Amino acid sequence: MSHPLSPDDIAALQSAVDWWADAGVEALPPLPEETRPQPQARQAPQRREPQQTSREQRQTASPAAAQAAGYGALPDQYGAAMARAANDIEALKAALGDYNGCPLKATARNLVFARGNPQAKVMLVGEAPGRDEDAEGKPFVGEAGQLLDKMLAAIGLDETSAYITNLVFWRPPGNRKPTDQEVEACTPFTARHIELIKPDALVLVGGLSTQTLLGAKQGITALRGKWTDYKCEDGTSIPTLPIFHPAFLIRRPQEKAKAWADLLSLKGKLGG
Ligand code: URA
């Protein structure tokens, strides 16, 4: 029997499904019971209890619905207090698991915390997870992450000698840029993350983490390759190097020479 849909129909449907997945819609909620076909002989209508919102239903929520559900409604000091109370990396990860101050949590599949060695001398902070990172719950595992791994390998670093995280811990739907509010909701945790790892060298990967964590106005093109100090809340400073984001280097391979110079500078700082 031939398929009722033509190959073109199937391709169009697949592309619509992919588009929704890219936009962060990972599952459709079940139809409310009232809209399902009802049997003819009905019993006396029963009062329905208010429905519990399932995780799948929350995943389809718009930013406005996420806010209405209580995500992102917490004052900034709440996140800062939770982050400060975390005395080690595991406690910080657990605190993020409990934290509902960032609206992105409502649409993400997973918390994307970190990968690599927490004892490493070098810590890299990227921007925000994408689709692959959201699915795996690990930062930099997609195409940009593969390039980042190659860049690190070129100076002898890997997951045993580097620690990799992001500024923002949940995927923005459709891989859009996180809003200021979303970044602000995550920043106390990122700051505490850096303070707890206390690397010998901090690498800020891309413009967003550079501008946010250094409070800089200039763009990454002006700041990359220039060592500066990141000031921790405990008063200590960490030598910090902004570099181009690998996603940018994929789009602009002609800039790779500058990234290579920056990597050599990092290698020199680490004593290699
Ligand atoms: N880009 C980032 O900045 N971080 C990731 O984890 C993936 C892509």
C-beta of residue 241 within 8 angstroms of C-beta of residue 201: yes
149 lines ligand 1 (CB under 6 A): no
Mean pLDDT in the chain? 83
Statement to judge: residues 97 and 140 lie in one domain? yes
Is 2 within a domain?
Answer: no
Statement to judge: residues 245 and 121 lie in one domain? yes
127 lines ligand 1 (CB under 6 A): yes
Residues 178-225 pLDDT 10s: 999 999 999 999 999 999 999 999 999 999 999 999 999 999 999 999
Statement to judge: residues 91 and 59 lie in one domain? no
Is 200 within a domain?
Answer: yes
- In this structure, the residue with its CA closest to atom 3 of ligand 1 is 127
Residue after which a domain boundary falls, among 38, 68, 98 = 68
Statement to judge: residues 55 and 80 lie in one domain? no
Around Cβ 52, how many Cβ atoms within 10 Å?
6
Residue after which a domain boundary falls, among 68, 85, 107 = 68
Statement to judge: residues 115 and 241 lie in one domain? yes
From the alpha carbon of 246, which atom of ligand 1 is closest?
A: 1
What's the CA angle centered on 205, arms 251 and 62, to 5 degrees?
80
Question: Which amino acid, one-letter code, is at 126?
Answer: G
Statement to judge: residues 97 and 26 lie in one domain? no
Which residue has tokens 């209890």? 49
- State the pLDDT confidence band at 23, using cuts at 50, 70 and 90: very low
CATH code where residue 80 lies: 3.40.470.10
C-beta of residue 130 within 8 angstroms of C-beta of residue 136: no
Is 1 within a domain?
Answer: no
For 146-185, the three-class secondary structure string (H helix, E strand, C coil) is: HHHHHHHHHCCCCCCCEEEEECCCCCCHHHCCCCHHHHHH
Average pLDDT over residues 130-147: 98
210 lines ligand 1 (CB under 6 A): no
C-beta of residue 201 within 8 angstroms of C-beta of residue 240: yes
Around Cβ 231, how many Cβ atoms within 10 Å?
15
From the alpha carbon of 206, which atom of ligand 1 is closest?
A: 3
* pLDDT recorded at residue 101: 95
CA-to-CA distance for 176 and 185, rounded, in angstroms? 16
pLDDT at 25 over 80: no
Which residue has tokens 């200590």? 236
User: How much of the chain is helix, strand and coil, in % rounded to 5?
Assistant: 45, 10, 40
Q: Which domain holds residue 227?
A: 76-269
Q: How far is the CA of 166 from the centre of ligand 1 (A)?
A: 7
- In a 10 Å sphere around its CB, with 0-12 CB exposed, 13-18 middle and 19+ buried, how is residue 210 labelled? buried
Statement to judge: residues 45 and 125 lie in one domain? no
178 lines ligand 1 (CB under 6 A): no
Question: How many structural domains compose the chain?
Answer: 2
Average pLDDT over residues 222-231: 98
Statement to judge: residues 98 and 192 lie in one domain? yes
Statement to judge: residues 42 and 104 lie in one domain? no
Question: Which amino acid, one-letter code, is at 54?
Answer: S
Is 231 within a domain?
Answer: yes
Mutation probe of ligand 1 site: the residue of 104, 141, 166, 208 with most atoms within 8 A of C-beta: 166
CA-to-CA distance for 272 and 257, rounded, in angstroms? 19
C-beta of residue 262 within 8 angstroms of C-beta of residue 255: no
Statement to judge: residues 49 and 115 lie in one domain? no
* pLDDT recorded at residue 77: 77
CA-to-CA distance for 184 and 167, rounded, in angstroms? 10
126 lines ligand 1 (CB under 6 A): yes
- State the pLDDT confidence band at 5, using cuts at 50, 70 and 90: low
Could you tell me the pTM of the whole model?
Answer: 0.77
CA-to-CA distance for 85 and 98, rounded, in angstroms? 13
Statement to judge: residues 35 and 130 lie in one domain? no
Statement to judge: residues 125 and 231 lie in one domain? yes
C-beta of residue 164 within 8 angstroms of C-beta of residue 148: yes
Around Cβ 137, how many Cβ atoms within 10 Å?
15
**Tokens of residue 4, six digits:** 């009722």
